[in-house]
Amino acid sequence: MNPPSRINKSSRRDSALGQDIRIIEKSPNRYVLSDGENEYRLAPAVASNVHVAALPESEMLKREAIPLAELAQDQRAQIVALDDAVQGFTRRRFLDLGLTPGATIYPELANFFGEPRAYRVRGTMIALRNDQASQIWVKPI
């Protein structure tokens, strides 16, 4: 069985852009795809309009993770990845603060107004706004 892929384009109405699928069978006569619930049998002419690409490793890691902003107040977590949208100065700042894959992080202080929220990481307390914490993917431990 092939690893999960993501549909980039599709001529079928019941499949969607960004949908996760598996290629079950590939032959000169037909292609069989599955999204885990439904099976799609496509003629080669139709299948030629479907473009799939393997999920990046960062996407596979995010399947078992949640955004840091959704972590419960009394829950510890391990950082899995920074969102791909985090680039430039913000990415550098996150890395400098110790927000790297494998680091343990947990909410230390809640703010009466909701944000910023204080987190403990690598023995240091840092404050992050919810939009920043939403870009950090963690796996509760």
CATH of domain 60-140: 2.30.30.90
Q: What is the pTM of this model?
A: 0.63
- Name the band, by pLDDT with cuts 50, 70 and 90, for residue 5: low
pLDDT in tens, 67-105: 999 999 889 999 999 988 899 999 999 999 999 999 999
Would you list the domain boundaries of the chain?
A: 5-55, 60-140
pLDDT surpasses 50 at 12: no
Query: Rounded distance, CA 29 to CA 91, Å?
Result: 47
Tell me: pLDDT of 53 over 80: no
Q: Which residues contact 13 (CB under 8 A, 6 or more apart)?
A: none
Asked if pLDDT for residue 14 goes beyond 50, the answer is yes
